[in-house]
Amino acid sequence: MRTIFVFLCLLTLIIISSQSLFDIHDLDWSTSPTDNFFMFVNGRWINRTTIPSHESEWGGLFTVKYENTYKLKRILDDLIRHDKSEPPFANGSIEHKLRDFYSAGLDEQAIEDAGLEPIKETLIQIQNIQTYKGLVQFCLDWYTKMNSGLIFDFDVHADDRNSSINTVHWKQTGIQLPERDYYFRNDPISKDIRNHYTQYIDRLLTLSNEIIGTTTTLVDAEDIVSLEIQLAVSHRTPYELRDAESNSQTYHINELDQMMPNLNWHEVFSKLTIENRTTILAQSDYYLLLDKLLVRQPLNTWKNKIRFTILHELARFLTKDFVEAHFNMYDHLVYGQRTDKPRWTKLTEDIDRYLGDLLGQLYIARYFPYESKQRIMSLVENLIDVYQERIRKITWLNNSTKQQAIKKLRAINMKIAYPTMWKTYEDVVIDRSSYFHSLVSIFRHDYRKKMDDLRKPVDRNEWLVPAQIVNAFYYPPFNEIIFPAGILQEPFFSFFADDALNYGAIGYIIGHELTHSLDDQGRKYDEHGNLHHWWTTDDINEFHLRTEKLIQQYDEYRMLNTSISGRLTLGENMADLGGLEIAYQAFLRTDQAKENGLIDGFTPRERFFLSFARTWRVKLTNEKLLSSIRQDPHAPVHLRINGPLSNMMGFYETFNVIKGDGMFRNENERVLVW
């Protein structure tokens, strides 16, 4: 009897939890679900919610991120409060490093007292540069110390065409506004941003003049902006950066020297200890132009630009004057945040970013139940089975391409919750008395790791993100999906939720990432993660017929007097549509869907779609929204709900959508790819 009683109590808990996990009182009945499903599900929340002054976006993913930051704060605070009666943390232990780094970062007075002394010698070195070759040498030296090249930037990861080896991928850099078109748009907002950007440059230069005994004027700042405008001409747009093939061109070092003699690539490789003779120049136009501008532009302008870039990159770690200048320029002006985040929040985010695996181990031990990992693994398998079945039934792909697509799907590596091996950061030295010196040790570690990776085979077991991050990914060169523990929580997933809620939220997200394996860029990689042509010409043409319809659909949307780019957002729109279709079909196989019992007056199918629409319950400042429209490959949040639903027959049938409804699209306009 006791066993039965315990089982019944657990069953009751699950039922009660499933009901409480979705509050039907949030539904906005003044809006018809067939006219605007996003507002039907989220309208009341949106109308009553104010974005916190220290944020530019709120709700859904971003609220969970903030709540997760509080969890990380509790871990770090507990390390500081470690009872003195308990044994002290061993030197070099996880707890010791995290406590000391957190303590150093909280000591704002020590940071103020240090001022610019930690980088005084660096600033003097810049002043003493006599030639453009000396400038290049300085930038290379800085890269090895700080993992930042100022006018150079590269990553080390799998070669797109041979994913078993690591190689160097050179990227465009040299500008500090979010992307190239910020320098060229002539609307009032863009002009205002450029005007404030000039003032921001002037402010940072002025703040650093005294310590090196020099002076600058607003004209110097204007010269830097002019130089960045010239560099921005060479930059690829956010849409162009999405193209896998054009951003993975391989060159031999001798070719680079012939193309760009002023940069002296043999010297660049030698200084950075890169032994490879071939490399990927992802955005070659930038380096071709840099090679010319180095000798054409005044050396003093270059020196001022390098000084500004260093101050800009380090501003968040320096005194309050620099922190405030950086906040006012970017978080406030560009993204619409009204006040800066609390010190502890930014510090926790820094630790998450720079010592993520140390903090992740403590996070998993405290907050993540193992049972959740097992349930997610089962969900993923269910969705892969459905995806495979859908591919088999497609009529526009030839059989050989279908078989290759299924082979790729079955080869996807699943990284769920947390890694089996954690990064150790053994060579990182944390100085409890100096936050800045601790950061320098971390940056040097990052550069050494980058170079170590270059000399080793690709490690497909390595996690590219910390376990506590609230996000999910598909990574083409590894043909893998990554679902960190951070996203495996409400409202996306709950161990106690009914299948409708879980499949509508985390199921859709899983389907979204799986669909990326065959989106407009992911389809170019094979099951091993190698970039090459494995589709027939006819298959590609049929694929483009369908994706062009999706591009046209999103091109028709406008927000803030700005058009959404259907081409920029194509990959994510495909993943939203495909992920939702796959998750819904997988859900229909569950017992809950078959039994069709009501919860809170809603059928399982209705609850699936309600859960899906809640995933993007988000508000953004107008500034953040405008910035996202211009550069984010994701569509605005309400379009991530209404866009795919307007193409989906299952939604039409569930809510009886008919011609004349806002969610209705003519049948010949509806899109189905996967």
**pLDDT for 142-183, tens place per residue?**
999 999 999 999 999 999 999 999 999 999 999 999 999 999
Confidence class for position 14, pLDDT limits 50, 70, 90: very low
Cα 445 to Cα 354: distance, rounded to the nearest angstrom: 10
Cα 531 to Cα 538: distance, rounded to the nearest angstrom: 19
- Using the predicted structure, report yes or no on whether residue 20 has a pLDDT greater than 60: no
Which CATH number belongs to the domain containing residue 257 in this structure? 1.10.1380.10
**pLDDT for 339-349, tens place per residue?**
999 999 999 99
Element (H, E) at 168: strand 162-170
Same domain flag for 255 and 382: no
Confidence class for position 1, pLDDT limits 50, 70, 90: very low
Question: Max CA-CA distance within the chain?
Answer: 87
Same domain flag for 481 and 564: yes
- What DSSP state is assigned to residue 479? T
322: left (phi over 0), alpha (psi -120 to 50) or beta: alpha
**Any domain includes 432:** no
Cα 42 to Cα 29: distance, rounded to the nearest angstrom: 10
Same domain flag for 571 and 647: yes
**pLDDT for 194-210, tens place per residue?**
999 999 999 999 999 99
Share of the chain above pLDDT 90, in %: 94
Share of the chain above pLDDT 70, in %: 97
**Any domain includes 601:** yes
* 567: containing domain: 368-419+467-669
Amino acid symbol at 643: G
Same domain flag for 388 and 488: yes
Same domain flag for 286 and 389: no
Same domain flag for 484 and 609: yes
**pLDDT for 268-318, tens place per residue?**
999 999 999 999 999 999 999 999 999 999 999 999 999 999 999 999 999
**Any domain includes 395:** yes
Residue 482 backbone dihedrals phi, psi, to 5 degrees: -125, 120
User: What is the number of structural domains in the chain?
Assistant: 2
Q: Which whole number is the average pLDDT over 634-655? A: 98
Cα 43 to Cα 37: distance, rounded to the nearest angstrom: 9
Same domain flag for 307 and 382: no
Q: Do 71 and 365 meet the contact criterion of CB atoms below 8 Å apart?
A: no
Q: What value does the mean pLDDT of the chain take?
A: 95
Residue 176 backbone dihedrals phi, psi, to 5 degrees: -115, -5
**pLDDT for 105-120, tens place per residue?**
999 999 999 999 999 9
How many CB atoms are closer than 10 A to CB 123? 19
Using alpha carbons, list the distances in angstroms from residue 512 to 380, 409, 467, 504.
11, 13, 19, 11
Same domain flag for 489 and 411: yes
Q: How far is residue 270 CA from its own chain's centroid? A: 32
Residue 315 backbone dihedrals phi, psi, to 5 degrees: -55, -40
Q: Do 53 and 339 meet the contact criterion of CB atoms below 8 Å apart?
A: yes
- Using the predicted structure, report yes or no on whether residue 43 has a pLDDT greater than 60: yes
Q: Do 225 and 198 meet the contact criterion of CB atoms below 8 Å apart?
A: yes
Same domain flag for 295 and 409: no
Same domain flag for 665 and 520: yes
Q: Which whole number is the average pLDDT over 37-63? A: 96
Q: What is the pTM of this model?
A: 0.94
Q: Which of 274, 291, 317 represents a domain boundary (last residue)? A: 317
Q: Which whole number is the average pLDDT over 453-479? A: 96
Which CATH number belongs to the domain containing residue 495 in this structure? 3.40.390.10
Predicted local confidence at residue 82, as pLDDT = 82
Predicted local confidence at residue 85, as pLDDT = 64
Tokens representing 274 are 């890169």
Cα 374 to Cα 39: distance, rounded to the nearest angstrom: 34
Q: How crowded is the C-beta side of 578, counted as CA atoms within 13 Å? A: 29
Q: Which of 250, 282, 317 represents a domain boundary (last residue)? A: 317
Cα 104 to Cα 431: distance, rounded to the nearest angstrom: 7
- Using the predicted structure, report yes or no on whether residue 10 has a pLDDT greater than 90: no
Confidence class for position 7, pLDDT limits 50, 70, 90: very low
Predicted local confidence at residue 21, as pLDDT = 75
Name 157's bridge partners: 167
**Any domain includes 255:** yes
Predicted local confidence at residue 382, as pLDDT = 96
Q: Which whole number is the average pLDDT over 323-333? A: 98
Same domain flag for 399 and 475: yes
Q: Do 474 and 578 meet the contact criterion of CB atoms below 8 Å apart?
A: no
Nearest Cα residue to 415 out of 513, 521, 512: 513
How many CB atoms are closer than 10 A to CB 237? 15
- Using the predicted structure, report yes or no on whether residue 572 has a pLDDT greater than 50: yes
**Any domain includes 477:** yes
Q: Which residues contact 213 (CB under 8 A, 6 or more apart)?
A: none
Q: Which whole number is the average pLDDT over 472-492? A: 96
Cα 504 to Cα 384: distance, rounded to the nearest angstrom: 16
Residue where the block lists tokens 């298959």: 539
**Any domain includes 148:** yes
Predicted local confidence at residue 4, as pLDDT = 34
- Using the predicted structure, report yes or no on whether residue 87 has a pLDDT greater than 90: no
**Any domain includes 137:** yes
Q: Which whole number is the average pLDDT over 497-516? A: 97
**pLDDT for 214-252, tens place per residue?**
999 999 999 999 999 999 999 999 999 999 999 999 999
Predicted local confidence at residue 6, as pLDDT = 33
Predicted local confidence at residue 3, as pLDDT = 37
Same domain flag for 505 and 620: yes
**Any domain includes 379:** yes
Predicted local confidence at residue 84, as pLDDT = 66
3-class state of residue 602 by DSSP: strand
- Using the predicted structure, report yes or no on whether residue 19 has a pLDDT greater than 80: no
Residue where the block lists tokens 């523990």: 485
